[in-house]
Chains A and B, each alone.
Chain A
Amino acid sequence: MIIDNITHGPPVTIIVDGELLSARAGQTIAAALYASGRRVFRHTRIEGKPRGLYCGMGVCFDCIVKVDGETTRACMRNVEQGMQVTLPVRFEAARSRP
């Protein structure tokens, strides 16, 4: 967190893969994950490769996570109290693809 001139919004708690994560109202999910030191947002469905924030402006869809079951860009969606975030993992059935 930086710069004294700004006051962040009130604390909110989100649930990331079942674990509680403190964030601040007004933060995007991506910023909340980064602020907690988490840079790996998901693993790709075919090769299981780690991915995180890339374009940061809603274009690349690399930071997609599941929010309350729906695929969402972590860089575009603000945190809300009690929000359930699931980080996608490799889709096992995709293994057979050459």
Chain B
Amino acid sequence: MSFERDAELVVVGAGPGGLSAALAAAETGVRAIVIDEYAQPGGQFYKQLSAGFTVRDRARLGYDYTKGDALLARVRAAGVELLSDTLVWASFAPGTLGIRHRSAIGTIRFRAAVVACGAYERAAAFPGWDLPGVMTPGASQTLVKTQRVLPGARMVLAGSGPFLMPVAATLIEAGARVVGIYEATRPSEWARHAPRFIGHWGRMGEAVRYWRTIRKARIPIRFGYVVVRAEGTEALERVVLMRCDRDGGVIASTERFEDADTLCASYGFVPSVQVTRALGCDHVYDAGRGGWIPVHDECMRTSIPGVYIAGEVAGIGGAHAAMAEGRLAGLNAARELGKRVAESAIEDARRERARHRTFAKIVSDIFSIKPRVRELITDDTVVCRCEEVHAREIRAAALAWGANVNFVKGITRCGMGYCQGRICGPLVEDMTAAALGVSAGSVDSFHVRAPIKPLTVRELASMSQADR
């Protein structure tokens, strides 16, 4: 049985951006529905504890939970409908989204939409990155924050970017044994950006808090290191790291070995653009924003009428930028829907957005992935984890056919598995561009096709004749 819903405004994603968009629109009188793939609203930033757990003292849970609680309470009070366990799998006609709620297939018809699907981590690929025990920093944080399970007994954090700090702090506070943090950049590379941080004291304060937690636990932080290899037979046993230069090229004879059962590694984030692609929005490559993002204007409007974006989808910028953009998108969508919206409210959101985007730009200038880390992906390294395609095959196909990554995909099957190229896509784009000596963004990206998340045949078959 399939179902149909009409929505004045549909918001995709219940993280800080999506919730802020729904709240801003609802406060002007818009009837908003927020759909979200997870069992609990909050997204990755305001990760909520599993609903099966009871908490004696919520205030003791910490800042992210209480802030998330407060935002969710306001969203509910404003009359926004929250539909969890609901993913978007297609958009077959303008103004519609094909969704799956639990295992029921349905369609939402909308007059306006705000897509705030967030981002996921940019994979750090090296020999052994597919071993159990090697995961993204976010995965370990989720295990601790939503499940209260420690990922391992001896943990190493590596990669690059400010996200390593809160993850380390979360793990330490939960009692994990973190044996080392390895950041690919060096403070000397940040120094010239220091004056740009003036005025961003709040954000710097957050960093200082995490830094203190890490120092107090006496966990060594080493700068200018990259993971070159993860070793183990059935699961991770040892991590091999080496010093690297400014470009990410490793310096000979600088190996460090860490016995560890868990390695958390990533190089920042990649915007989740599958839904905006399914909706037909134009996209543009912007390395500083994490790669491909939907083309959008100051009002957060995309190239498709009625479709707005907010947060990490519009480029990696953090939760504060997401909330400002959510408000901006929600208010502008409300105005388009004929509601009265004060110009000053839009102006405030616009100003706040500009401030947070300025900060995000500094962060991305400092922590952008170093180009030569791609050399760590040896020919025998698996690149497409789903279809088990190795770097050797991808490089050969790129040299033979690589003007467009979709040719590489067609020949090697990379990006054709369950994750549909979400994880290997950025790697294959980079490897293809490098093989041809052209710039990133000039070799296209994997085409997105429905279903954009796997459905079962039974679910598809449940669609009514009218839907087809």
Contact = CB atoms under 8 A, between A and B. Distances in A.
Contacts of A76: 38-39
B52 A61 contact: no
Contacts of A57: 44, 120, 138-139, 142
Given A55-B120, A60-B423, A62-B385, A7 B54 contact: yes
Interface in B113-136: 120-121, 130-136
B388 A27 contact: no
Interface in B375-421: 382, 385-388, 417-419
A26 B50 contact: yes
B142 A8 contact: no
B207 interface: no
Contact of A55 (B51, B138, B144, B382): B138
A50 B235 contact: yes
Given A5-B56, A5-B60, A6-B55, A59 B130 contact: no
Interface string A31-49: 1001100011100101101
B201 interface: no
Given A40-B234, A52-B133, A59-B120, A31 B418 contact: no
The SS class assigned to the A binding surface is: loop
B363 interface: no
A86 to B, nearest CB: 16
Interface residues of B, number: 54
Interface stretch (B145-153, B187-195, B307-315): B145-153
A55 B422 CA distance: 11
Interface residues of A, number: 43
A55 B39 CA distance: 17
B53 interface: yes
B151 A34 contact: yes
Interface string B224-250: 000000000011000000000000000
B345 interface: no
B132 A55 contact: no
A55 to B, nearest CB: 5
A52 B418 CA distance: 15
A61 B149 contact: no
A1 to B, nearest CB: 6
Contact of B385 (A6, A8, A53, A54): A54
Interface string B21-55: 00000000000000001110000100001111111
B217 interface: no
A70 B57 CA distance: 38
Interface string A1-16: 1110111110000000
Question: Which 8 A-B residue pairs are closest in the complex by CB-CB distance?
Answer: A26-B52, A56-B139, A52-B132, A9-B52, A61-B418, A31-B147, A26-B50, A25-B52
Given A51-B385, A54-B130, A59-B272, 6 more contacts: A1-B148, A7-B55, A8-B148, A30-B147, A39-B132, A59-B419
